[in-house]
Structure 1
Amino acid sequence: MQLLQQHETRSFRVLVLLLVLCVAAFAALFAVSALSGKKQTPVITERCVAVVGGAEYWLTLEQAANASIISGVAVARGLPPRAVSIALATALQESGLRNVNYGDDAGPDSRGLFQQRPSQGWGSEEQVMDPAYAATAFYNGLEQVPGYLELPITEAAQAVQRSAFPDAYAKHEGPARAFASALTGQTPTALSCTLRAPVESADPAVSAAAVEEIYGPLNGSVLGPLYLADVEGAYGWSVAQWFVANAKTLGIESVAYDGRTWHRGTAVWTESDAVPGQVAVTAFSLPAE
């Protein structure tokens, strides 16, 4: 019995000693860091934020880019923002707004943003994996729903998707409405993205081709590092915020429209001399060596 007590005492002392050493090591590291006077470079979390009506929601860059395609397709065909809210809530539930190339047990051949099934007539697998095609197919179905603009999001989405969990769409209504309002241009400067610096120069002609693939011809022109798109009103804000949502992949440095400019460095919209009726997109360029 005495030997057991002595063993337990030694074990306890060893445990206490190890704890003291850990605390001392942590304190030493903290002291060295403080004395060095060096600040750690903060990690920039890349994301896009929509602020509408005092509420703030965020998406990853991948999600925001997909949301901009879903919205841009609707704007190009003249659909109201409510249609975009329904579509975004649906895609958030079905795929997390990611263009996934797999389905689940309920729909093993489901694919894409809306988990559309080729076996159910939505198109080929290649087609439903194209975000613009998938959004167009969804809107085609939505427009067949009588009075869909007056229906709750859950009912409108379910009428198109016929999901096994129809009530699940409701939990995405907040972010869906906020990003729809921003990306359709109903709320100017509502969308902003925080990005790291790009690693290579960008071509403004690539931006021109990308936006016109979604919106169609915008009477745009490329002038040096600038792409200028002739658009007005809410349509112009839709295009401007589309560029912000895609600034990472397109290598965009700034977007200016109607007295406001978003800049990659500040990640916010600020007052500027940007003219109405024209979205000005500046491509990122590395300084000359």
Structure 2
Amino acid sequence: MTALNEELVVDVESGSDPSTDHSVAPEASSWRNIWKRFKRNRLALVGLFIIAALVLIAVFAPLLVRLESTIGGIARLDPEIGTSPARLQPSADHWFGTDKTGRDLFARTVYGTRISLLVGFSAVLLATTVGTVFGALAGYFGKWADTLIMRFTDVALALPYIVLAIALVVVFGRSLVTIVLVLASLGWMSTARIFRSSIIQQKNQEYVEAARSIGCSSWRIITRHLVPNAIQPVIVYATLAIGTAILSEAALSFLGVGALEPTPSWGLMINHGRSALRSDPHLLFFPAAFLALTIVAFTAVGDGLRDALDPKLKR
């Protein structure tokens, strides 16, 4: 009897059905096969390449700015301080030109990549963590926990997103930390609803019943069995949400309630460039192009992950 229970524990720990010994742990769910399905989506691969390039730009931003200053024969380029004549057109000295205060636009755009990725990843990571916890509690326990959490998310999601974000930033003060916390506090509800639905679909599966039958605690069932099997929709949504968070930060900065001057934020640069669109279109074009490219890249990768994580979706 003891040996039988030990064998059952092994089967449950592996997320398999104890009644079979080879049909569970399907090969289609392995990361290798997920990568194979992901590679079939060429647009997703392009998006992944763009994201990797943006990450490298963010990491090596000082080196890129130093390279520009060396080629242009400029002693020092600072993304926050004007060191050149105002509103220069793109040239060999200033690859993206300069803004109205003489700040190098290439340096500001490159350093803006750091800010956008930092805000996007941080806000989504925090929102996903909180949303996963509340979604698991609502989906697994149900009853009053589900009612309380879901009714709160219904009320919060009914409020205008951008208006509520502006109000919170104004109340707590303008800073990048505040923007991350505001975006996370407004983004976890959608993650909670998605994860709750996924947990409900999984909690009555045979491997969960087997875990209950051998006396596994609710905490162990949720963390060791339900979360690994129900997390796939959240991964897809989080990838898409990074692009949304980056766009939201740019929108708040554009509206004057986001990053403070002289922070090199894409939203701030777009706001400054819109007034000189006819005379100096480069002030608007470069930060807007980087922003659009980033959003499209994350959207493409999210679409590719959706297809790769769900084998039922065939192109």
TM-score range, shorter chain: under 0.3
Larger Rg: 1
Give 1 or 2: higher strand fraction: 1
Give 1 or 2: higher helix fraction: 2
